[in-house]
Homo-oligomer: A and B are copies of this chain.
Amino acid sequence: MLILASRSPARARLLAEAGVAFVAENASLDEEPLKHSCRAARMSAREGALTLAQEKARIVSSRHPQALVLGADQILDDGNRWFDKPKDLDEARAQLLSLKDKTHELVSAASCLSGGALLWQAASVSRLTMRAFSDAFLDSYLDAEGAALLGLVGAYRLEGRGVQLFARVEGDFFAIMGLPLLELLSFLRDRRVIGS
């Protein structure tokens, strides 16, 4: 049995659309303290995302030692800081204003554990460039998307109206949506979780 240790609807959708059978169970990790200690340890965003993905999988693996558990994490790094999920629409607005007209990196990491042991991990780094959108555009974007933005680091979803924020997107689209899917599917085939 594959357990997705995440409450992210985007990740669940990616797996379901790809035809992978799984159940989802939230690790309920308090992410921010761990993120901040990764940051304090001078980890790269890649190392930080891998650490968080692994920790989420480890928590769920401890509850289900026989299962294969998939943890995942994304870190948005603008070169100065790692972004957290916005707590309200004011914070979403502030994040978008600070990303506007600049390029940022989005690291997407995933880890698979079984019985607490790390079996596989992968991370993919994408580079996204926001255009110099107007205040009127930002207002209409926040109005249209509303509370849906609060679960999203950087306050955007490319598979929605968020694509209008961008001038350029370089990277693996699956990873941007939440999982380095092609690498994950390859691992799942090797483990005979899915057919090859």
Contacts and interface: CB of A to CB of B under 8 A. Distances in A.
A182 B136 CA distance: 20
Interface stretch (A27-35, A91-99, A106-114, A160-168): A160-168
Contacts of A137: 195-196
A186 B76 CA distance: 24
B164 A194 contact: yes
A159 B196 contact: no
A163 B134 contact: no
A24 interface: no
A142 B102 CA distance: 44
A195 B17 contact: no
A10 interface: no
A168 B144 CA distance: 35
Contact of A182 (B168, B174, B181): B168
A37 interface: no
Copies in the complex: 2
A174 B166 CA distance: 13
Interface string A126-161: 000000011011001000100000000000000111
A135 to B, nearest CB: 11
A138 to B, nearest CB: 10
Contacts of A174: 163, 173
B195 A134 contact: yes
A161 B20 CA distance: 8
A41 interface: no
Contact of A17 (B161, B166, B172): B161
Contact of A186 (B17, B140, B167): B167
B182 A163 contact: yes
Given A144-B19, A173-B173, A134 B196 contact: yes
Given A168-B182, A182-B167, A182-B168, A161 B195 contact: no
Contacts of A186: 167
